[in-house]
Structure 1
Amino acid sequence: MNDHDPTACGLPGPGDQPTVADRAWLAIACRLAAQCPPSATALSAGAVVVADDGTELARAHSRERDPDDHAEEGAFAKIDTADPRLVGATVYSSLAPCAKRDSRPRACARLISESGARRLVTAWREPDVPGPEAHGAQFLEGAGVTVLELPEYADAAKAPNAHLLQP
């Protein structure tokens, strides 16, 4: 398996049961987080959007094109909003998406819920830092999106953010 075709392991599972493909896509999202330009104030995340047939629609990492970009925002910016494959898609994000943004009109959790994606697979549900960006997973659950956390990937998601997580 390579970073561009984890679908060889099987399609994303329905509901809350992780598949081998879920783990492979989430590992890619965690590796994307490690590619983020460092920031003294912003968390680093990676995201991959995958159609329900296993086709990758887009991937991105925080600050990929703009210093204020979040990973999910960057990935969705690469997809035509009319793409019918978004309905039922799964978003793999190393860090659960933000529920509130000061620098943008729509938070990442809202982008996901409005896209038609039905699943979020994440490594790290809530950051251990205070701020308005927490609680995106709860927002999505309230919007009917299945949220699946795979905590065995949390260390990989936290690694690029270690400088922000100091006690």
Structure 2
Amino acid sequence: MYSQPRGRDLRWMRRAIDLAALCPPAAGAYSVGAVLVGGDGKELASGFSRATGPREHAEEAALDQLDPHDPRLAAATLYSTLEPCSQRSAARVPCARRIIAAGVPRVVTAWREPSLFVEDCVGHELLVEAGVVVVEVPELAEAARAVNAHLWRLD
């Protein structure tokens, strides 16, 4: 199910964009930030792409900070600057599937993954099919894309 953004969604998405700006630029990867927020409105965890390794995704970094059975996940919202991946080139679980397995009921993103590296990302669709509420915040899409300017520069 898709839903409209709430006022606090903009604030948390801005935090995720700030985290994305911390990513070491990589020619073959997006710079993404993610924040997990509990049902009480407090930050549970956060992460950004490549924080601890070249293949680490932002959602993965945030989820790995919590016990997979943490009861707070059942009321959490995950904010990610980019649509969670639906496939990985490495032998890792795609972020959309990790979110579903963690029981996170709501995901907010700024923009859909373009076909620069993956031809057909269906992260949003996987989440919706699993009953996760997906919210897009298009008014912050340009700010999330700007952090990835390194991917479109012609040197």
What is the aligned-residue RMSD (CA, Å)? 1.7
Match of 2:58 among 30, 53, 71: 71
Amino acid at match of 1:158: R
Distance 1:35 1:134 in 2: 24
Distance 1:32 1:104 in 2: 25
Matched, 1:144 2:131: yes
TM-score (norm 1): 0.85
Q: How does 1:29-68 map to 2 (within 5 A)?
A: 29-68=16-55
- Contact persistence 1:97–1:137 (CA under 8 A): yes
Distance 1:128 1:162 in 2: 15
Q: Partner of 2:149 in structure 1?
A: 162
Aligned-partner SS, 1:92: strand
Amino acid at match of 2:20: A
Matched, 1:131 2:118: yes
Runs of 4+ with >4 A deviation = none
Q: Partner of 1:153 in structure 2?
A: 140
Match of 1:115 among 102, 113, 120: 102
- Contact persistence 1:36–1:44 (CA under 8 A): yes
Matched, 1:85 2:72: yes
Deviation of the 1:154 alpha carbon = 0.7
TM-score (norm 2): 0.92
Q: Deviations over 1:46-75 (max 9, x none)?
A: 000111111211000000011110000000
- Contact persistence 2:74–2:104 (CA under 8 A): yes
- Contact persistence 1:98–1:133 (CA under 8 A): no
- Number of residue pairs the alignment of both structures matches: 153
* Larger RCO (CA within 8 A; separation ≥ 6): 2
- Contact persistence 1:29–1:93 (CA under 8 A): yes
Can you give the 5+ residue segments of structure 2 that lack an aligned partner in the other structure?
A: none
Q: Partner of 2:83 in structure 1?
A: 96
Deviation of the 1:144 alpha carbon = 0.8
Deviation of the 1:38 alpha carbon = 0.7
Q: Deviations over 1:11-33 (max 9, x none)?
A: xxxx7232221110011001111
Distance 2:128 2:57 in 1: 20
Aligned-partner SS, 1:18: coil
